[in-house]
Chain A
């Protein structure tokens, strides 16, 4: 069995690519979750309750389905076809996979009834995913009734990378993941690692106690009270799959920027990360939802243009190096400076109305 997509039923979803022709673009840049609430940036324990937010933004529902949904799922299927190890689940994580499947199906059916539906008759469930043309009857908690394990089945139909953390010994262990739109880290390398181990490469944050406190906090995360945080980096071209495994393919594109093409090619990559305690497995699901926006589109919002210029200009070298844009920073700052008149910016990340 496999999962055949039969898309095409809805005009809403863009027919676009995240590779070769790179036809990806945002229909409405104002929907982009701009991550900077002030003119500078440093790591912190930036976690807040993950509650539904402003209408018409990426925060309206706990799982945002936007115009890129279908194209992203097609891109994920290609990544997996090339490298099946981008999705792994250790044997003890199957129950957590069911927990996640339930969470996602219930949320999508509730928040997007025009696209998704879930009907239950005891453990006999019926799932309809209209944008991808999928219809599936299955028995909840019985793996043999789905074409993939529950974790792979549902994450092949959900935007965002997901990792599942088992909680043991007062620590979290990355024991499952669907990672195809990552900012240069590898699931195959990290699988089975603990919270401090997989975070080892991050500069400055360990010394500041960010990870000690974040872990303490996460170990207390309660079912029914999810939290979220932002992370961000820079990507040349709207490429979802920036993996270490394929670095030779995409790394060299960093050398192709000029003042002429930078606005179109250089993208701010934002990860809206949310964390859920899962009920049956007691595991923690980590949803890393990637949003891309070209500099060209960002500077259409004057407040964001000014702020992005200042953040990129003043970021500590350690962070710019870790995020992989130290060499391109001067070019970015030069390009962005044209859109910063030095005027003060208002606090918070929303555009000025």
Chain B
């Protein structure tokens, strides 16, 4: 069985949070408790988008102590592949859906003396669950949360109300920016840094921290790579003897599944390594979009991560 255990759920409610973000609440179909999870975990939501199967990872934002329901927040991406559009337009209360068991690729380091959290936009969601967890078990934290504008700063009100001295908000529109060098220079020894947000922000925070001598093992980030859109391409599957075409809004992994090939996966976001596949022949260019393979492995083109990576060129033969 690939992909791990699944959960059958019902959409309990859909709540608009602002112009771009909706919150979805899921309960177990049979009314039982959902599995417990840890702050920072995500679930993969399976969507049947009018015949196209989509699987998008979303961070769980509800309190890990609450097993009666899971909540996620989805930001509408009008330029994206359609997963978020499907969630916004077609997912309504009462609908039955399938989720993966929670998987945590962005856990808190429970030994940390202090947790320093930096969020950009919708990147706030894993921190909501982590903060709920710290509220319950204790643990010192500080959150710096940047959004485009006041109206787009989802959950800022509830965060600042509950933790007035630990939560700091910034708005691009008002030309406010996190004073990163000061922040990073003034943390107590034993602080762990967590960042989740747009790619540019993650790079900025991590490279600044590294340049200032932060230990690499104290730096944590989560960035879901939406499986990128791209030109259609053809792939030969050596083990199953099939040739498939990967469509514009499909990932290679999804195309294999649609062709009835049971390929392994877990995170579907280029992070976990589960889908790693050997390349037999590559006449063209693999567009590596994962965080798993090393730069040397990317250059060698002997492996591909089908959940996020694509191909441009004449022939690609892989071991599936």
- Which A positions have Cβ atoms within 8 angstroms of B? 49, 92, 95, 99, 102, 141, 166-169, 216, 220, 222-225, 279-282
Q: Which listed residue, B36, B109, B110, B266, touches A222 by the CB 8 Å rule?
A: B266
Q: Are A280 and B110 in contact (CB under 8 A)?
A: no
A169 surroundings in chain B (CB, below 8 A): 217
Point out the residues of chain B lying under 8 angstroms from A220, CB to CB: 266, 272-274
Q: Could you say which residues of chain A place their CB within 8 Å of the CB of B217?
A: 168-169
Residues of B within 8 A of A224 (CB): 4-5, 35, 101
Complex: chain B residue closest to A49, CB-CB: B1
Is there an interface contact between A223 and B273, defined as CB atoms closer than 8 Å?
no
- CB of B210 to closest CB in A, whole Å: 15
**What are 17 A-B pairs at a CB distance below 8 A?**
A166-B110, A167-B107, A168-B109, A168-B217, A220-B266, A222-B4, A222-B5, A222-B266, A223-B35, A224-B5, A224-B101, A225-B1, A225-B5, A279-B36, A279-B37, A281-B38, A282-B104
The complex places the Cα of A223 from the Cα of B5 at a distance, in Å, of 8
With a CB–CB cut-off of 8 A, which chain A residues contact B109? 168
Residues of A within 8 A of B110 (CB): 92, 95, 166, 281
B101 near A225: Cβ-Cβ < 8 Å: yes
Cβ–Cβ contact B101 & A222, under 8 A? yes
Which B residues touch A279, using CB under 8 A? 35-38, 102
**For the complex, what is the distance from the CA of A280 to the CA of B130, rounded to whole Å?**
11
Q: Please, how many angstroms separate the alpha-carbon atoms of A281 and B136 in the complex? A: 13
Q: Provide the bound-state CA to CA distance between A103 and B1, in Å.
A: 22
Which B residues touch A167, using CB under 8 A? 107
Contacts A220-B273, A220-B274, A222-B266 given: A280-B64 contact, CB under 8 Å? yes
Please name all residues of chain A whose beta carbon is closer than 8 Å to the beta carbon of B274 when the two chains form the complex: 220
Contact residues in B for A49 (Cβ distance below 8 Å): 1
A166 to B111, CA, bound (A): 10
Q: Which of B110, B266, B273 has the most CB of A within 10 A?
A: B110
- A residues within 8 A CB of B137? 95
How many cross-chain pairs have Cβ atoms below 8 Å apart between A and B?
54
Complex Cα–Cα for A179 and B316 (A): 51
Kindly state the separation between the CA atoms of A28 and B103 in the bound complex, as whole angstroms: 41
Q: From DSSP, what is the main secondary structure of chain B's interface residues?
A: loop
State A166–B110 Cα separation when bound (angstroms).
Answer: 9
A280 with B38: CB separation less than 8 A: yes
B273 near A216: Cβ-Cβ < 8 Å: yes
Q: In the docked arrangement, what's the CA distance between A141 and B38, Å?
A: 14
Ranked nearest first, the 3 interchain pairs of A and B with the lowest CB-CB distance are A224-B5, A279-B36, A222-B4
How many interface residues does B have (CB within 8 Å)? 25
Chain B residues, Cβ within 8 Å of A225: 1, 4-5, 101
CB distance from A105 to the nearest CB of B (A): 14
Q: Interface 1/0s, chain B 20-45, versus A by CB < 8 A?
A: 00000000000000011110010000
Which residues on A sit within 8 Å (CB–CB) of B101? 222-225
Contact partners of B36 in chain A: CB under 8 A: 99, 102, 279-280
Interface pair A223/B272, CB less than 8 Å apart: no
Q: Could you tell me the distance between the alpha carbons of A10 and B210 in the complex, rounded to whole angstroms?
A: 62
* Interface residue ranges, B against A (CB under 8 Å): 1, 4-5, 35-38, 41, 64, 101-104, 107, 109-111, 133, 136-137, 217, 266, 272-274
Residues of A within 8 A of B1 (CB): 49, 225
Task: Give Cα A166–Cα B109 distance, bound, in whole angstroms.
Answer: 9
In the bound assembly, the distance between CA atoms of A117 and B67 in angstroms comes to: 21
Taken together as a complex, chains A and B put the C-alpha atoms of A223 and B274 apart, in Å, by 15
Set of chain B residues within 8 Å of A102, measured between Cβ atoms: 36
A123 and chain B: residue at smallest CB distance: B65
Bound CA–CA A169/B274 (angstroms) = 18
Q: How far is the CA of A345 from the CA of B280 in the complex (A)?
A: 39
CA distance A167 to B101 in the complex (A): 18
Complex Cα–Cα for A169 and B218 (A): 9
CB within 8 Å for A280 and B37 given contacts A167-B107, A224-B101, A225-B5: yes
A51 nearest CB neighbor, chain B only: B1
List, in ascending order, chain B residues with CB within 8 A of A281's CB: 38, 110
Complex formed: what's the CA distance from A102 to B273 in Å? 30
B107: chain A residues at CB < 8 Å are: 167, 282
Contacting residues, chain B, for A223 (C-beta < 8 A): 5, 35, 37, 101-103
Cα-based distance from A151 to B111 in the complex (angstroms):
18
Contacts of B133 in A (CB 8 A): 280
The interface centre, meaning the residue of A49, A223, A224 with most chain B CB atoms within 10 A of its CB, is A223
20 extra interchain contacts, Cβ-Cβ under 8 A, other than A168-B217, A224-B5, A279-B35? A49-B1, A102-B36, A141-B136, A167-B107, A168-B109, A169-B217, A216-B273, A222-B4, A222-B5, A223-B37, A223-B102, A224-B4, A224-B35, A225-B5, A279-B102, A280-B37, A280-B38, A280-B64, A282-B38, A282-B107
Nearest opposing residue in chain B for A224, CB measure = B5
CB distance from B148 to the nearest CB of A (A): 32
User: Which single residue of chain A is at the shortest CB-CB distance from B34?
Assistant: A279
How far is the CB of A279 from the nearest CB of chain B, in Å?
4
Cα of A167 to Cα of B64 in the assembled complex, Å: 18
Bound-complex Cα distance A222 to B41 (A): 11
Within the complex, the shortest CB–CB distance from B173 to chain A, in Å, comes to 37
Taken together as a complex, chains A and B put the C-alpha atoms of A296 and B269 apart, in Å, by 54
Give chain A nearest CB distance to B9 CB in angstroms.
14
Q: For A222, list chain B residues within 8 Å (CB).
A: 4-5, 101, 103, 266
Please name all residues of chain B whose beta carbon is closer than 8 Å to the beta carbon of A166 when the two chains form the complex: 110
CB distance from B96 to the nearest CB of A (A): 19
CA distance A10 to B170 in the complex (A): 66
Which of chain B's residues has its CB closest to A222's CB? B4
Q: Across the two chains, which residue of chain A brings its CB closest to B101? A: A224
Chain A residues positioned under 8 Å from B273 (CB to CB):
216, 220
Whole-angstrom CA separation of A216 from B4 in the bound complex: 16
Complex CA distance for A167 and B109, rounded to whole angstroms: 9
* Chain B residue contacts of A141, Cβ below 8 A: 136
Bound form: Cα–Cα A168–B192 in Å: 12
